[in-house]
């Protein structure tokens, strides 16, 4: 079994073509982007964009017709580059080509295990009372990731400790969940939703190429994923419906920061 491979291209449906992954930002621009993240220029840009998004709840359009989760779509469209920002059409100049290894993929799964452990711990502890609304959504991944890592171990693969990126993100989420619940919910929602879309594409292509088409537990759910996501959105709308516009904006402002942390873990697939 070959463990070196190119990874998927968003619209590539065959395995005899180069496979690639388009990220919210490419590797060459990552350092410059990170510097902008905490700067005034970046903060100003995000505030302008989120303000526009939140203002979409205009008089004349009943609020119940637009759930809060729907506000993420126009924001991410504005912030992302490449194929995500162009409704699935590939922008090949922005695509980062990788050569992942099975060891890197295991690190990616191990780090995700820590992130999901953290999210599930936070909603179970429910320091903020309405976190309890997000228990037992059917989207939890910690238990199934443990099964996948055990399977790799049975194949003779070593399971590493979490990376610095995962440890940092885990600690960040714990602290954020206590000091800024509205911002935390942005990370919570983005992590679960991203895994059901682009995350599944990664899993499918990896399975086809290096796992003899084995479908990991990580990419399987009990129940229809569309219904599980709809239930999550309804819970979010129920919670956020009474938030003032400033708090909604604060939540949406965390979007790119959540991409940054998730992107660091995603890159572990290709050392």
Confidence of residue 74 (pLDDT cuts 50, 70, 90): low
User: What pTM did the predictor assign?
Assistant: 0.74
Bigger pLDDT: 73 or 207? 207
- The string of pLDDT tens digits covering residues 85-118 is 444 443 333 334 667 788 989 999 999 999 999 9
- The string of pLDDT tens digits covering residues 245-265 is 899 888 988 998 998 999 899
Domain ranges of the chain: 21-269
Bigger pLDDT: 171 or 203? 171
Please provide the CATH number assigned to the domain covering 21-269.
1.20.910.10
**pLDDT more than 90, % of the chain:** 45
Bigger pLDDT: 53 or 109? 109
Q: Which helix (H) or strand (E) holds 253?
A: helix 245-253
Q: Write the CB contacts of 148 (distance below 8 Å, at least 6 apart in sequence).
A: 109, 216, 217, 218
Confidence of residue 10 (pLDDT cuts 50, 70, 90): very low
| Long-range Cβ contacts of 172-178 (<8 Å, 24+ apart) | 172/261, 173/115, 173/118, 173/119, 173/122, 174/118, 174/122, 177/122, 177/127, 177/128, 177/131, 178/127, 178/128
């Amino acid at each position: 079994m070959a463990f070196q491979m190119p990874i998927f291209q968003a619209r590539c449906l065959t395995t005899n073509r180069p496979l690639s992954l388009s990220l919210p930002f490419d590797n060459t621009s990552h350092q410059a982007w990170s510097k902008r993240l905490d700067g005034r220029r970046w903060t100003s840009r995000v505030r302008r964009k989120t303000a526009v998004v939140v203002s979409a709840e205009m008089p004349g359009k009943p609020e119940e017709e637009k759930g809060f989760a729907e506000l993420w779509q126009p924001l991410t469209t504005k912030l992302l580059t490449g194929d995500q920002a162009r409704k699935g059409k590939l922008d090949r100049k922005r695509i980062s080509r990788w050569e992942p290894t099975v060891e890197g993929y295991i690190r990616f799964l191990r780090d995700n295990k820590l992130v999901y452990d953290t999210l599930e711990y936070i909603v179970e502890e429910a320091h903020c009372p309405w976190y309890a609304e997000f228990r037992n959504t059917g989207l939890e991944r910690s238990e199934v990731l443990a099964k996948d890592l055990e399977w790799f171990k049975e194949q003779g693969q070593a399971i590493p400790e979490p990376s610095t990126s995962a440890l940092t993100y885990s600690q960040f989420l714990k602290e954020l969940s206590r000091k800024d619940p509205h911002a935390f919910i942005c990370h919570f929602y983005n992590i679960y939703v991203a895994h059901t879309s682009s995350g599944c594409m990664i899993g499918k292509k990896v399975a086809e190429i290096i796992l003899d088409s084995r479908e990991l537990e990580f990419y399987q759910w009990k129940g229809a994923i569309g219904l599980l996501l709809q239930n999550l959105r309804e819970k979010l709308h129920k919670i956020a419906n009474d938030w003032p516009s400033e708090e909604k904006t604060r939540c949406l402002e965390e979007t790119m920061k959540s991409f940054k942390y998730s992107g660091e873990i995603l890159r572990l697939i290709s050392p």
